[in-house]
Amino acid sequence: MIVSFRISKLHLAMFVFALIAAFLVATKISGGSSDSQTIEKEVKKIVTVYEIIKDNYVHDVKTEDIFNSAFKGMLNNLDPYSDYFSPDEYKEFQISMKGELTGVGMEITMENGMLKVIAPLEDSPAFRAGILAGDHILEIDGESTESFTLSDCFRRIIGKEGTEVTLTLLHQGEDNPKKITVIREKIKIKSVKYAHIIDKEENIGYIRITNFQEDTSESFVEEVKSLQGKGMKSLIIDLRFNGGGLMVPSVEISNMFIKDGLIVSTKGRAEDSREPYKAEPKNAVFDGLPLVILVNGYTASASEIFSGAIQDHKKGILVGSRTYGKGLVQTLVEIPGDKSAVKLTVSKYYTPSGKCLQRQKDKNYGLDPDELVELTTAEEVELLKSRSQEKPVDIKHDKQLAKAVEKLSLLK
């Protein structure tokens, strides 16, 4: 049973005053402005709605739950990526950014009001269950995702290790939804995978980056240097189905190939959201290494930062199909003394040539590859199914990879 408590009229008055004062200080609005009066009116309305809920709702509701929902509403209505994290949710989010999370293992997004899978993480429960990039998730445990926010969906999919979640999926090109039950696991994501010499005659190396997390740049350096020790002369980096992650590791890896100049810039309304990220010569440890990057329609966010920097600086060739087009940057702001946080979209990022990749209707978005090699939906499905650490990359059945090998072979 949920325990409720009531706030006295005096406490309510003090609460309203505190809220109004906080709004005025935060927005630096003078006391007599029309905006100030509007804020005062709306804050009073918030408290009135709160009282109605506490006094009349059929069940007792915790006060913090009511305000958590209000905070979430403020953020979720801005865009799919802005959000409010309660203390427990913020703790889970921090764990996920370190590469470990209990769930099913997939990158998701909201597209045209529908929950969509960018990609399942390799070797995850979602991957093994047959969830595919491009799938639409119609239901989570029997509840329609139609009215859910991206954060709502994320929180319903993660859960305790060993528990089940049932997803109703619609695969691309199919008409009939399928129900898939997945058992949640503690997922330790390995972001840099399957580094090996893919062509021994031409000494071409291959590395797959599945997402960008805190340890990605360190792991990447180790793997590339290991391949160089085996005689590697050129490199293919596979970013297909890489939904992004953290910006900083993607900038760090870009700098490994770019000696000077701009890598990416962010631009927003606030002064501190406008920042150029420039290469430092001392970090360009792989400058001059012939490079091809494999991309597709599920290469997004941090992956596009890296790919865009390499393409604009002409440090490598992009092979594949047009990338996803996520050009929004979020920042985390911790709420003092509460262990909660706000994740807010504060800027857009721009490639060195000044292009914003954010997808928009009827407009060019994402990155166009230097060599367009498109796969059918069926070919992409087969590519995902074939991916495993234990199973070697198959050049014969992957025409995008074959084109990458061809391009590097011609650079002799």
**Which pLDDT score, from 0 to 100, does residue 9 have?**
43
DSSP codes of every residue in 68-81: HHHHHHHHHTT-SS
Pick the closest to residue 116 from 103, 129, 104, 132 (CA basis): 132
Decide: 321 and 372 in contact? Cβ < 8 Å: yes
Pick the closest to residue 203 from 289, 101, 280 (CA basis): 289
Select which of 312, 321, 403, 407 is catalytic.
312
Select which of 72, 326, 343, 403 is catalytic.
326
First and final C-alpha spacing in the chain: 72
Select which of 301, 307, 321, 340 is catalytic.
301
At position 130, the amino acid (one-letter code) is G
- Extract the residue ranges of the chain whose pLDDT is less than 70: 1-34, 95-100, 362, 388-392, 412
Task: Name the DSSP class of 33.
Answer: S
**Which pLDDT score, from 0 to 100, does residue 26 have?**
52
User: Which pTM was predicted?
Assistant: 0.78
**Which pLDDT score, from 0 to 100, does residue 269 have?**
86
Q: What's the full length of the chain, in residues? A: 412
**Which pLDDT score, from 0 to 100, does residue 331 have?**
84
- Phi-psi category of 89—alpha, beta or left, where left has phi over 0 and alpha has psi -120 to 50? alpha
**Which pLDDT score, from 0 to 100, does residue 309 have?**
98
Quote the CA–CA distance of 140 and 171 in Å, as a whole number.
15
Decide: 124 and 106 in contact? Cβ < 8 Å: yes
To the query of whether residue 312 is one of the catalytic residues in this protein, the response is yes
Q: For all residues of the chain together, what is the average pLDDT?
A: 85
Please name each of the domains of the chain with its CATH number: 9-61 (no CATH), 100-188 (2.30.42.10), 192-329+346-409 (3.90.226.10)
**Which pLDDT score, from 0 to 100, does residue 412 have?**
61
CA angle 374, 298, 345 (to 5 degrees): 145
To the query of whether residue 65 is one of the catalytic residues in this protein, the response is no
**Does an H or E element contain 87, and which?**
helix 87-97
**Which pLDDT score, from 0 to 100, does residue 14 have?**
43
